[in-house]
Structure 1
Amino acid sequence: MNTHAPVSPAEDLPGAGPGRMDPAESQRINSLATGLSVSVALVLVAAKLAGWFASGSIALLASFFDSLLDLAASVTAFLAVRYAARPADNEHRFGHGKAEAFSSLLQALLVSGSAVFLFFEGTQRLLDPRPVEAGGWALGVMVLSLALTLGLIRMQTLVIRRTGSIAVTGDRAHYSADLLSNVAVMGGIALAVFAGLERADPILALFVGVLLAKSAFDLGRESVNQLLDRELPDATRAHIETLLTDDPRVLGVHELRTRAAGPLIHIQVHMDLDPFQTLKEAHDVVVAAEMRVLEHYPAADLLIHSDPKGYGEAHGRGFFDADPEPHDGGAR
């Protein structure tokens, strides 16, 4: 019979992630973050548009379009975190959590579009350079943008540490790219205005395009992983298994399946129990295991199947079970 030391809060996994916070509290915090993001995006769109009209800087125009896409993405994230936290209903028995992943994927597509635009415009201006006018005005706009973006990223980082929201993570990816973009744009404008290097403006715009393309790829990959029900990280799975088996009456677990859906996680597992105990006793063991998991993952949806000890190994694999590791010298 397996025995396990009690799982204390100190043994809990660090950081945040899906399932670790009550959905209502997660929605409240994420809504504040995405609401502030929308407000910052609105200010930056207006300031950069005015700055471009005054200066004609292609790098500033590129930054304006990036902020315009950020505004669309931030509004999407603002709506997605509210929808994702809604409870399950008759049409969505597993809840609405994947709305956050859809929002994040849309953000990745928008960032990709921004990168393509930068590559096109930057190449055109590299071949046909134009002077940057009203450089002081343009630099003032970028200083404002830099300060607002730094503050927003700091706040988003604190929120992600608490909620692990993929929608807010996607939003932060936008603004992290913007932070580098703002520095690059300021450098391009300064070199064009004060050093007469007109091609510095489009060259740095192309550099920003590369950064945006990488950000879009990383964000899209994470979104697709969640949409395709990728398993939770190994450390999280091991922690869940430890919680499930932290009871001498639990003889083992197998066929553990996990997936994330926005702020929620779904867990399915088979639990080995004493075949000679009563149904009531088996039920009590399962409920106790559920309570241990929910203490650490309050936004988890659990489905525990009880197996009499020895039956789980004999009743064969299900359709969705992974193939076993091949034996030495043998075929699968």
Structure 2
Amino acid sequence: MRSATYAAVGVALILIAIKLFAYFATNSVAMLSTLVDSLLDLVASFINLVAVRHSLVPADRDHRFGHGKAEALAGLFQSAIITGSSVFLLFQAGERLLNPKPLAAESIGIIVMVVSIGLTIGLVVYQRFVIRRTRSVAISADSLHYVGDVLINGGVIAALILSSYFQWHYADGVFGILIALVLIYSAWQIMRASFADLMDEELGDEDRETIKAIVLKQPGVLGIHDLRTRRSGQQVFMQMHIDMDGRISLRDAHTISDAVEARLMAEYPEAEPIIHQDPIFVENEAENRSGDD
């Protein structure tokens, strides 16, 4: 996760430098849009860097559940910055749409955009690898708007080509507006994911069914109910009640619970299961194995 944040900051710095050069060469508002987007990427990636470092700090006396929500707070801050800057870009693109101007040095702009797309795709591929390993909310948010950058840079290339080779000077303003709308949509997705984490939203139905199936595979478990889940950064917290034969000893019940915990952590290494043992008295265990909450 740390290496992914360092990579994002490095790529953002490179993109800012080459896009700044291209903007002064082309005088394109679409190029300005993607330059502002890269400036936002730098701010967002730096925030992620700080948030990820903080979220990885182990739990302490004052934060018994760790510091994982720092990632979600960083996501909210990112979405606010992106939304505000997108509104600014809408006004800039609208002005260019009302007063279209011919562009200059389009070939330089196209080359810069092609290079930007290559660098961004490389970063996204690495971020996806990290996300698969860590399920990080912060890295997912960062990756989301870098994916949007690929589309944005493609839009800038289209605007430069239409303006240069087809003399459609409105293309610059039109694509500037489209880019701003893409940024606003990305900000909404980041905000939604961050709120889900901060508000302790349940894991998806697929994950919940997987958890139930894992628990019920353990010999000695007769049922599961009151399953509660939430995510905080990388960590997943699970609370559940499992039914066991009330005639077994406390030692055996504890052994079964430990086995359930081991099974869950094999599937969810970042999980912290909390298991309550409920004794029941039945004659036929097979009739009582159930996954209902």
TM-score by length of 1: 0.80
Establish whether residue 160 from structure 1 lines up as the match of residue 124 from structure 2: no
Deviates more, 1:48-57 or 1:228-237: 48-57
Which runs of structure 1 show a deviation greater than 6 angstroms over 4 or more consecutive aligned residues? none
Aligned pairs, how many?
Answer: 282
Structure 1 residues 116-157: Cα deviation after superposition (integer angstroms, max 9, x where no partner) = 122111101111122212222222222221221122122222
Gaps of 5+ in 1: 1-29, 311-324, 326-332
**SS of the counterpart of 1:272?**
strand
The aligned counterpart of 1:140 is 111
Matches for 1:14-93 after TM superposition, within 5 Å: 30-93=1-64
Superposition deviation, residue 264 in structure 1: 0.5
Matches for 1:168-317 after TM superposition, within 5 Å: 168-309=139-280
Which amino acid letter does the alignment assign opposite residue 235 of structure 1?
E
The aligned counterpart of 1:118 is 89
What CA distance in whole angstroms lies between the structure 1 residues aligned with 2:151 and 2:247? 64
Which amino acid letter does the alignment assign opposite residue 192 of structure 2?
R
**SS of the counterpart of 1:45?**
helix
Question: Among 113, 122, 129, which residue is 1:151 paired with?
Answer: 122
Superposition deviation, residue 217 in structure 1: 1.5
TM-score by length of 2: 0.91
Structure 1 residues 158-211: Cα deviation after superposition (integer angstroms, max 9, x where no partner) = 222232222111111111111111111111122222332221111111111121
What CA distance in whole angstroms lies between the structure 1 residues aligned with 2:110 and 2:255? 67
Contact 2:224 2:243 in 1 (8 A): yes
Contact 2:22 2:109 in 1 (8 A): yes
Deviates more, 1:158-167 or 1:115-124: 158-167
Which amino acid letter does the alignment assign opposite residue 125 of structure 1?
R
Which amino acid letter does the alignment assign opposite residue 195 of structure 1?
F
Superposition deviation, residue 63 in structure 1: 0.8
Aligned CA RMSD, in angstroms, stands at 1.7
Per residue, is there more helix in 1 or in 2?
2
Which amino acid letter does the alignment assign opposite residue 283 of structure 1?
H
What CA distance in whole angstroms lies between the structure 2 residues aligned with 1:140 and 1:51? 9
Contact 1:111 1:174 in 2 (8 A): no
Which amino acid letter does the alignment assign opposite residue 21 of structure 2?
A
